[in-house]
Amino acid sequence: MPISLSAGTPVKAGAATHCPYCALQCGMRVTVGETVTIVPRQDVPANAGGLCQKGWTAGEPLTSGERLTTPLLYGEAATWDEALDVVAERIREIQREHGPDGVAVFGGGGLTNEKAYQLGKFARMVLRTSQIDYNGRFCMSSAAAAANRAFGMDRGLPFPITDLAAADAVLIAGGNVAETMPPFVRHLAAMRDRGGRLVVVDPRATATAGQADLHLQPTPGTDLALALGLLHIVIAEGHVDEDYVTRRTSGFDAVRTSVAAWWPERVERITGVPVARMRLAVEMLGGAARAAILTGRGAEQHAKGTDTVSAFINLALALGLPGREGSGYGCVTGQGNGQGGREHGQKADQLPGYRRIDDPAARAHVARVWGIAPEDLPGPGRSAYELLESLGAGGGPRALLLFGSNPVVSAPRAGHVAERLGSLDLLVVSDLFMSETAALADVVLPTTQWAEESGTVTNLEGRVLLRRQAAVPPAGVRSDLEILRGLAVRLRGAEGFPTDPREVFDELRRASAGGTADYAGITYERIAAETGVFWPCPAEDHPGTPRPFLDRFATPDGRARFVPVEHRPPREDVDGDYPLYLTTGRVLAHYQSGVQTRRVAALNAVVAEAFVELHPDLAERMEVSSGDRLRVVGRRGVTEGVARVNPAIRADTVFMPFHWPGVNLLTNPALDPVSRMPEFKVCAVRLERAG
């Protein structure tokens, strides 16, 4: 029986820690006694005393009666030794028959830096498998790929979030921060209080768009065309910062030529955004002394997401924004440790420190730290969806170890993913609750929650923060570091797999030294004393790097690179059978696949199930009212939701939040050729009345 933590023993009254949810990593003090008390911290700049409703209720999952506290072996309670012995033996059997790549590992963007690092090390050093990726591939990968090719480095915001308050204009493309990370809005509000202007690009009139001075509402899947049109106007109307372009960039002539064909009237026909509003957006940005352009998942989760972000980066470069204090381009990173989670080795093509796994020097460095030969490190593996799609198939992995993710809800074409998981010889899931994915597992391992362990996370600014333990975990629960050590002992020996997160972090520092994401000079003591340290930080006497591009970019010649890109339509467009665009996203009350938030009564009281947002004109044609149940039918599946009639959305588009099972049955797994991001944000559907 699960044991709830109804009266846990406090480790430290008012432990200074951070929220378990989004990439703001809001500071909070948590005290666990008869009840869980959460108080926001004033000393963390990202939230400076604010929390959203998810943060205020983050303690409730700690006391949930649904908590997993006993390992489950084929559905029956087992001891830890029994469960880990079976997992280790099955891994040996599968790898004897199918080779090292017969076993795969799938991680999560919510794991601490220590757990993400140790997971990658376990996969490559113990299992010797190349088959490891993580759910952050579904989140920030397009922005990361575009930033790397433009700037030579990916850091969500390459400036402190507080810089936004000093800007004169901010454009957010495809981000609804008022719902996904509400304390972010205080920085935009401070900007507007000073007279700054906010421009929001979104097919929906979201809560963020409602606070904007200008809302551009494109047809789903046309953000790239819009960015090209905006740059065309910037060039035609003389807003290019020619001195900056000459001194600090390369490749502008090719981009200037490529956008010549994207005159505003053509862009209006494709996007539906009026020319006058495009010109007004350019006037706001071009007339600002300091400005920032930010992208979110709405612009990035497409089969052309990398090129879309590149188009917005090109716009920022033409205006002379990146590398100037108070200005720049940034990605509004989503998951709690989405930044750190992709830096230290749980991504298919990377080693710790944001090193490429196919770089001989990188392999030699990490191999020295791990005490193995470089040739013993496997090469690049499959990206997240390709890995999930290959499971159990001819030549694909026959076993999967899954930590901190719920792909049965969160992956595109989720029905197919569930089938692949069901075809495995062994599925092992480490989780807090019986998620939809854990329900399919042969072995379920109960793990600690955020407040029951210590470790570091890296927020959207690139600021490394320390989560401190605030509660004793329930009896029977182990941390992911303990689970990895237990398996390492059984498979190859325990050396190199400590369970103390500080020990793991000290090794991570050595492994990252000299890499793009260099943590060598960051210590637990410095983080505590300085309320976080910005990477890169190569030495303990280095101050950290809040604004890495002030003097030069991280490219070989120090210049930012313009990249010519061309618009192309969505991989799946509307037609007579499927006449509506479906776009998906988040709501304020819930987070990711909902494993935690769907178990919080106060959050379910706000939104209890998936809904279908549709325009009043569409509702009138269908004779539908708010509260009616609708079937949403796509080429890959069918789901249902409650109708919400709302003029905030386009008449050709419907919106569904993805926190519940069923929504991602519909989404398209078409992949971006560079980032391997699936096209979550647009597919074709039709609506029917349910029942």
Looking at the fold, whether 489 and 384 belong to one and the same domain comes out as yes
How far, in Å, CA of 667 to CA of 681, rounded? 8
CA distance 162 to 379: 40
What crossing angle do the helices spanning 223-236 and 264-271 adopt, rounded to 10°? 160
* Same-domain pairing of 261 and 304: yes
Residue 420 in any domain: the answer is yes
User: Long-range contacts: 37-46, Cβ < 8 Å, 24+?
Assistant: 39/14, 41/16, 43/531, 44/18, 44/465, 44/531, 44/532, 45/160, 45/161, 45/162, 45/531, 46/161, 46/183, 46/184, 46/459, 46/460, 46/461, 46/463
Residue 483 lies in a domain: yes
Residues 324 and 443 in one domain: no
Assess whether 481 and 584 both reside in one domain: no
Positive or negative torsion for Cα 229, 311, 613, 412:
positive
Which of 290, 311, 331 is the C-terminal boundary of a domain?
331
pTM of structure: 0.95
Burial 446-467 (b: 16+ CB within 10 A, else e): bbbbbbbbbbbbbbbbbbbbbb
Q: Provide the residue type at 314 as one letter.
A: N
Q: Which residues partner with 457 through β-bridges?
A: 465
Point out the residues of the chain with pLDDT beneath 50.
1-12
Residue 456 lies in a domain: no
Q: Are residues 274 and 371 in the same domain?
A: no
Residue ending a domain, among 331, 357, 387, is 331
Q: How many domains does the chain have?
A: 4
**The CATH number of the domain where 33 resides is what?**
2.20.25.90
Q: From CA 121, how far away is CA 128, in angstroms rounded? A: 9
Q: How far is CA 557 from CA 150, 249, 292, 353, 676, in A?
A: 12, 10, 24, 21, 28
Residue 526 lies in a domain: no
Helix (H) or strand (E) holding 234: helix 223-236
Q: What is the CATH number of the domain that holds 176?
A: 3.40.228.10
Dump pLDDT digits (tens) for 42-96.
Answer: 999 999 999 999 999 999 999 999 999 999 999 999 999 999 999 999 999 999 9
The string over 653-662, giving b where at least 16 C-beta atoms fall within 10 Å of a residue's C-beta and e elsewhere, is: bbbbbbbbbb
Alpha-helical segments (H) within 345-383: 360-370
Q: What is the pLDDT of residue 35?
A: 86
Quick check: is 528 in a domain? no
Domain check: are 281 and 188 in the same one?
yes
Separation between Cα atoms, residue 559 and residue 556, nearest integer Å: 8
Within this chain, do residues 486 and 606 fall inside the same structural domain, yes or no? no
Domain that holds residue 617: 580-689
Alpha-carbon torsion, ordered 76, 77, 79, 81, to 10 deg: 30
Query: Do residue 224 and residue 247 come from a single domain?
Result: yes
